[in-house]
Amino acid sequence: MLLDGDRDLGPELAHFAEHGYARLGRVLSDEGAVALAERADDLMMGVQPDPGLFFQHDSETGRYEDLAFNAGWVGPSRRYRKVERLELDASFFAWIDNPLFGRIAHALLGPDVQLYRAVLWNKAPGRNMATPWHQDDGRFWGLDRPPSLQFWTALDDAPVEAGCLEVVPGSHRGGLATPEGGTITPESLAEADAEARAVPLPARRGEALLVHNHVWHRTGHNHTGHPRRAVSVSLLGGDVRCARKRRAPRQFRRLYEAE
C-alpha cells in the first residue's frame, strides 16, 4: 500500500514546523485507498461484526449545530460523519502502522509514540456537514500536555468542491485560542483575519498531509456526487498521559516500536 516511503523528509518537516501543515504527496497506492474505502463502507453498513468502533452520524439538516452527540450506531448508513477507533480494525491498522508515519513520528515526537485516536472522516454525497474552524486539543481531549501531530490521508479525491481540508498557516504557533479548544470564536477569527489567510488543501486519492493539532482548520460541504473519505491519525509522545479524573485514565496504544 505504501508508496515512496524512504525519501528525504527534511523539506516537509521544515514546512510543518513553520506553517503547521505539510504535504507528503501521494503515499498510499490506488489499490490500497480503494480497499480502505470499501472497508469503510462495510463498517458503516454493518457488513461485518463491529470490533468496538465509535460511530457519529451526520446531522439530518447538514448543519454542524444540529449534530447529535452520543447517539452512536443508528443502523446501516453511508452517512456517518465519523468512525473512530479504527486501530481495532486490522485493515486500517495496517495503514496506521506504516513505516513512513513511523519515521516522521519518531523525528517529531521522539523514540516512544502513542496513538490518541484514528478516525474515518466521511462526507457522503448529497446532504452533508461542513466543520467550522477549530483546533484538535483542549480540555475535552484530557491530556497533560498539548498534542502536536496528525496524519490525514485521502481515500477519495478531495477537491475544494468536495469539502477539502483548509488551514490558516502559522496559526499553530499561538497555541490554543481558548482553554476549551475546539471551535474558534468569531472574535478570534476576525482578529486573525482567518478568512483572508485561509489556504485550501485539495488532495488526490492516496495523498497524505501532516497537520499540527493547533493549526486552525476546517472542511466544507461536499457538493460533488461522490463520497469524500479520509483517515486521520493523531499521535502523542510517549510521555503524554491522560489527565481525566472522573474515570480511570486512558491507556494509549504504542506504535512504531520496531522502527
More confident residue, 60 or 171: 171
**Number of Cβ atoms within 10 Å of the Cβ of 204:** 14
pLDDT at 99: 95
> All domains of the chain, ordered by start, with CATH?
10-255 (2.60.120.620)
Rounded Cα gap, residues 229 and 21, in angstroms: 19
CA distances from 26 to 86, 148, 209 (A): 21, 22, 9
Name the average pLDDT for the chain: 93
Measured over the CA atoms of residue 188, residue 215, residue 33 and residue 92, the dihedral's sign is negative
Residue 127: pLDDT band with limits 50, 70, 90: confident
Mean of pLDDT values over 6-13: 92
Select from 2, 7, 58 the least CA-distant residue to 35. Answer: 2
CA distances from 175 to 135, 178, 220, 226 (A): 9, 9, 24, 35
Mean of pLDDT values over 100-125: 97
The per-residue pLDDT for range 233-250, each reduced to its tens digit, is: 999 999 999 998 888 889
Give yes or no for a contact between 181 and 135, defined as CB atoms under 8 angstroms apart.
yes
The per-residue pLDDT for range 36-82, each reduced to its tens digit, is: 999 999 999 999 777 799 998 887 766 666 666 776 788 899 999 99
Which residues have C-beta within 8 Å of that of residue 203, sequence separation ≥ 6?
Answer: 154, 157, 158, 164, 165, 209, 230
This prediction's pTM:
0.94
